């Protein structure tokens, strides 16, 4: 009996041993599979010799640019290519350094929104010398001979549309303009607005504040302007982040809804403010269309096809009168 007991006990240990051994082999096999797949690209959307595309926008602190880039990214990856994104954070020197970094990485094309239209000449000359395609979106550069294509909204008309709506709805106006003087698109919108409202002699321009199109700067500038006791009843904002900053400052003083705010973008947040009576209107931009157009131009350039040098995307306007005609929770 002792021998049989020992034998059974031995068989029991052997079973445990083989089970443990099987588990170890299974783990090692699984790790091997994972390592193998880690270093083998099995994506259908990737291919050997894929192109590298660079993207540099003036800031990624604006959903408008995130939407443009998403359209570019989806198309680039669908073509089996790769895209790298850099955020210049409104710093032209940083943008130049990032573009040069991407050129060293071997980009074949660059999607660009310049921080400063005059500040990238030297780096654009370098890009052209390397045969890199450059597509500018949303704004302009001063040296268009160095780039392949510019794609923008009808920025001058964007200002005009806000101005025309103001002419229809306000007999008088003490106007503050929130500007972005270093951006061509910003200057064009302000020019369109001011030229339009100049038709009414009862409108006066009280001040222009350069906020770089940024929410935080618009908030602090309008807060200070209010604290100084200035009188005004209308604010034209070059984009919706600026308008949202102005509304936030007005809310702090209990004045939201008492000042007529005009913006550009027609972002979901701006449409919510229009619905709530805290903004009068916002001109509709179409970032999805701009991004899709940029991607189309990119692959036409790569294919050697002819393209338009300048492409203008039409704009529309969302107001307190027609807000219900638009989807409020998404960009157009």
Q: Are residues 206 and 244 in the same domain?
A: yes
Answer whether residue 117 is part of any domain: yes
Q: What is the pLDDT of residue 326?
A: 87
Answer whether residue 20 is part of any domain: no
Per-residue pLDDT of the chain (332 residues; tens, 9 = 90+): 443 344 344 444 445 444 554 544 554 454 443 333 333 333 334 456 799 999 999 999 889 999 999 999 999 999 999 999 999 999 999 999 999 999 999 999 999 999 999 999 999 999 999 999 999 999 999 999 999 999 999 999 999 999 999 999 999 999 999 999 999 999 999 999 999 999 999 999 999 999 999 999 999 999 999 999 999 999 999 999 999 999 999 999 999 999 999 999 999 999 999 999 999 999 999 999 999 999 999 999 999 999 999 999 999 999 999 999 888 888 87
Answer whether residue 257 is part of any domain: yes
Q: Per residue in 24-34, is it b (16+ CB within 10 Å) or e — as a string?
A: eeeeeeeeeee
243: domain range? Answer: 155-285+318-325
Overall domain count for the chain:
2
Q: Are residues 279 and 298 in the same domain?
A: no
Q: Are residues 159 and 307 in the same domain?
A: no
Q: Are residues 207 and 267 in the same domain?
A: yes
Answer whether residue 215 is part of any domain: yes
Q: Are residues 90 and 170 in the same domain?
A: no
Answer whether residue 102 is part of any domain: yes
Q: Are residues 90 and 163 in the same domain?
A: no
CATH code of 228's domain? 3.40.50.2300
Q: What is the pLDDT of residue 8?
A: 42
Q: Are residues 121 and 173 in the same domain?
A: no
Q: Are residues 183 and 147 in the same domain?
A: no
Q: Are residues 184 and 236 in the same domain?
A: yes
Q: Are residues 98 and 189 in the same domain?
A: no
Answer whether residue 37 is part of any domain: no
Q: What is the pLDDT of residue 19?
A: 54
Answer whether residue 21 is part of any domain: no
Q: Are residues 295 and 277 in the same domain?
A: no
Answer whether residue 210 is part of any domain: yes
Q: Are residues 149 and 291 in the same domain?
A: yes
Verdict on whether the full-model pTM lies above 0.75: yes
Q: What is the pLDDT of residue 329?
A: 81
């Amino acid at each position: 009996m002792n021998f049989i007991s020992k034998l059974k006990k031995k068989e029991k240990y052997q079973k445990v041993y083989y089970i443990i051994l099987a588990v170890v082999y299974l783990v090692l096999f699984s790790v091997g599979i994972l390592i193998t797949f880690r270093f083998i690209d099995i994506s259908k959307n990737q291919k050997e010799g894929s192109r590298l595309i660079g993207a540099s926008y003036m800031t990624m602190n604006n959903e408008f640019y995130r939407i443009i880039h998403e359209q570019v990214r989806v198309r680039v990856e669908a073509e089996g290519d790769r895209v790298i994104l850099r955020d210049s954070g409104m710093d032209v020197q940083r943008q130049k350094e990032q573009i040069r970094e991407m050129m060293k990485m071997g980009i074949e094309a660059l999607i660009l929104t310049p921080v400063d239209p005059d500040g990238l000449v030297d780096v654009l000359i370098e890009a052209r010398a390397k045969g890199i395609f450059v597509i500018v979106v949303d704004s302009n550069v001063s040296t268009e001979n160095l780039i392949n294509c510019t794609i923008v909204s009808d920025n001058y008309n964007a200002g005009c549309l806000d101005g025309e709506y103001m002419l229809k709805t306000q007999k008088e106006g003490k106007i503050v303009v929130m500007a972005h003087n270093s951006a061509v698109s910003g200057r064009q919108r302000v020019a369109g607005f001011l030229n339009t409202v100049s038709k009414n002699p009862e409108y006066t321009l009280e001040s222009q504040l350069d906020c770089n199109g940024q929410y935080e700067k618009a908030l602090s500038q309008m807060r200070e302007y209010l604290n100084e006791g200035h009188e005004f009843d209308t604010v034209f904002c070059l984009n919706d982040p600026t308008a949202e900053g102005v509304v936030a400052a007005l809310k702090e003083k209990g004045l939201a809804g008492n000042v007529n705010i005009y913006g550009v973008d027609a972002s979901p947040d701006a449409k919510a403010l229009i619905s709530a009576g805290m903004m009068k209107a916002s001109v509709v931009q179409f970032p999805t269309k701009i991004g899709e157009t940029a991607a189309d131009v990119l692959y036409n350039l790569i294919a050697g096809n002819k393209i338009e040098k300048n492409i203008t995307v039409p704009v529309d306007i969302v107001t307190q009168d027609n807000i219900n005609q638009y989807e409020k929770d998404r960009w157009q």
